[in-house]
Amino acid sequence: MGSNLQLNSQIENYINNNSLDLHPVQKEIIKYNEKLGEIKKMQISVSQCHFLHFIIKITNPKNILEIGTFTGLSTLTMALASNDDTSITALDKNEETSKIARSFFDKANLSKKINLLVNNAKKSLEDLVNSNKYFDMVFIDADKENYIDYFEKSLKITNKSGIIITDNVLWHGDVANEDKNDRLTVKIREFNSYIKKNNKVESLILPIGDGLSICRKL
């Protein structure tokens, strides 16, 4: 058995170049985000696009919930991979980026599958819990301070054996560095510990992009 591969940008580019081709509108979103400066890091990576595509093809979810949409790359990725009768509910509080996301959904002719709710995510989640609407898959990629709250509410409206995926759980590798104790790093550590101890799910962390937590509801 060989040693574990240490990924770098060269290897990651090789992997992406020899994996599933992205849709033209996905490429357009990535190109658009490159002009946004520091906040472009809010988008998911290409490798995460590939992962979401395959997990949806394998699990075939009928109802998907997304918490944190940004300019729509992850939303569009899931819409492209899912069946025509799949419904995606996306939550984001930023009106400006939501408007941009909607323009990309229109361009890809997928707006009918996506219900983008522009509001505080906590409020939208509370409304969903009260509506008794249930989901087969949830993707969380929003403000890290509220990850535990988002997860707890999402778990309430996730069907049995449903999947909850959370982004940024390795936080640039800082979670494993004992010398890193800034507010967000501590919050991500607390979230990962909470998931590990949660007896309502089985979970694993994958080193894809900035780290994905994959949970299956028991």
The answer to the question of residue 63 being in a domain is: yes
In tens, the pLDDT along 148-181 reads: 999 999 999 999 999 999 999 999 999 999 999 9
Confidence band for 1, pLDDT divided at 50, 70 and 90: low
- Return the minimum-mean-pLDDT range out of 2-16, 88-102, 115-129, 181-195: 2-16
For residue 81, being part of any structural domain is answered with yes
Give the structural domain span for 26.
9-217
Q: What is residue 9's predicted lDDT score, i.e. its pLDDT?
A: 87
With respect to residue 2, please indicate whether it lies within any of the assigned structural domains: no
Taking the model in full, what pTM does it have? Answer: 0.96
Residue 64 placed within a domain:
yes
Q: Is the pLDDT of residue 3 over 80?
A: no
> Distance between CA atoms of 122 and 130, rounded to whole angstroms?
12
- 19 part of a folded domain: yes
- For residue 24, is it within any domain? yes
Residue 112 three-state SS: helix
Asked whether residue 185 is assigned to any structural domain, the reply reads yes
The total of structural domains in the chain comes to 1
In a domain, 75, yes or no: yes
How many separate helices (H) and strands (E) can be counted in the chain?
8, 7
Number of other CB atoms surrounding residue 45 within 10 Å: 18
Tell me, what CATH number does 54's domain have?
Answer: 3.40.50.150
